[in-house]
Amino acid sequence: MQTADHLMRSGMVSCPLCNGQMKLHGSYSRHCRDDDGKHHNGWITQGYCATCNRYQSILPVFLMPYKHFKADIIERVISEVEKGRAIEHLEGCAADVSTMRRWVTQFKERGAQAVGWLISTLLTVYDVHIGSIELRGGRLLKQLARLLYEYHFHECTGRIIGRTNIILTTHNCGFL
């Protein structure tokens, strides 16, 4: 909580809805599941934005909003499906096949939007232009990785989906 409080006070974490300054409000317990399906409990910090009168959760990069499995597991499943593997033949994930299908379907819908948002943000905020021809034909994760390169994110800050979510919420564009 001290780290989140410091990030909020320094302005490094702002409200994803209005970019207003957030203040530490508290925390709540949340679980996530690993590759084996084991539950791990942790604490999620919550901030309050007086500008828009909303409470926002500050999720670590390894979690996704409204998902119980860790982000790297979801990303691995999506990557394998994008490479042509059938969901039914994926190993090493304790999630049900129907859950994995839902992840892939949601990513196909939101991933294309995320590519557009990242291109738009690069142009309007950073004055960097990435042509759609350069991205055409590539898998969505590969397109996102190419765009994230322009944001100068270091690999240690998370995988593709986690880094994309940080940028999207920072620029008030939603999340994957």
Question: In three state form, how does the secondary structure of the chain look?
Answer: CHHHHHHHHCCCCECCCCCCEEEEEEEEEEEEECCCCCEEEEEEEEEEECCCCEEEEECCCCCCCCCCECHHHHHHHHHHHHCCCCHHHCCCCCCCHHHHHHHHHHHHHHHHHHHHHHHHHHHHHHCCCCCHHHHCCCCHHHHHHHHHHHCCCCHHHCCHHHHHHHHHHHCCCCCC
CB contact at 8 A, 116 and 110 = no
Q: Which of 73, 8, 7, 1 is nearest to 40 (CA)?
A: 73
> pTM of this prediction?
0.86
pLDDT in tens, 91-120: 889 999 999 999 999 999 999 999 999 999
- The CA R_g of the chain, rounded to the nearest whole Å, is 17
Mean pLDDT of the chain: 90
**Does the pLDDT at position 169 exceed 90?**
no
pLDDT at 61: 83
Q: What mean pLDDT do residues 61-90 have? A: 93
pLDDT score, position 48: 96
pLDDT recorded at residue 2:
84
- CA distance to 12, 103, 151, per residue, from 4 (Å): 10, 28, 22
**What pLDDT does 176 receive?**
83
Give residue 156's pLDDT band: very low, low, confident or very high (50, 70, 90): low
